[in-house]
Amino acid sequence: MNDANPTAIELSKLQVPNVDTQENWDLKWRRNKTMQLLSEGKAQWEVAEELNVHESTISRGIQKMREEVDAEHTNWVKHIAFENELQLVGLTEVLKDLWAVVRNERLEIGERLRAYLRLTNCFIANVHNARLDIWPKELLKI
């Protein structure tokens, strides 16, 4: 192959997409059908009867689906916590920069006051949101 056409593809390096086996396809179909039948209000034994499998097969399938959903939720919670941390770090940097402007005596007073106004707006919004999170809405009357 070395002296052959330089554009020739060596078959041993060719990537073949992962093709589901019939068994995997059947399992996916059964899980989807199980979810459909359960969402229609059918009991596990009724689902098992309709799919012509043992009830324990349905029970194990439901447990596996619950574990997958729990794992996905855990991933989302971790992702949201990470994104929240990034935003807090960014906001902290912005606040530091605004305080630097406020304290810089070489800048015009108008510019320093605008930076101070932005700071107070951030703090007021933060306190307001914290109050909304902590206190029952009927007590706030804002």
- DSSP conformation letters of the chain: --SS-TTPPPGGG---PPPPPHHHHHHHHHHHHHHHHHHTT--HHHHHHHHTS-HHHHHHHHHHHHHHHHHHHHHHHHHHHHHHHHHHHHHHHHHHHHHHHHH-TTS-HHHHHHHHHHHHHHHHHHHHHHHHHHS-HHHH--
Q: Give per-residue pLDDT as tens, 17-63.
A: 555 677 788 888 888 999 999 888 999 999 999 999 999 999 999 99
Domain tally, the chain: 1
Is residue 9 predicted with pLDDT exceeding 80?
A: no
Please check whether residue 137 lies inside any domain of the structure: no
Single pTM value for the model: 0.45
Is residue 131 predicted with pLDDT exceeding 70?
A: no
Residue 138, pLDDT score: 57
Is residue 132 predicted with pLDDT exceeding 80?
A: no
**pLDDT band per the 50, 70, 90 thresholds, residue 4:** low
Please check whether residue 99 lies inside any domain of the structure: no
Please check whether residue 6 lies inside any domain of the structure: no
Residue 14, pLDDT score: 52
Please check whether residue 73 lies inside any domain of the structure: yes
Whichever domain contains 25, its CATH number is: 1.10.10
Please check whether residue 47 lies inside any domain of the structure: yes
Please check whether residue 38 lies inside any domain of the structure: yes
Please check whether residue 46 lies inside any domain of the structure: yes
Please check whether residue 13 lies inside any domain of the structure: no
Domain that holds residue 36: 19-79
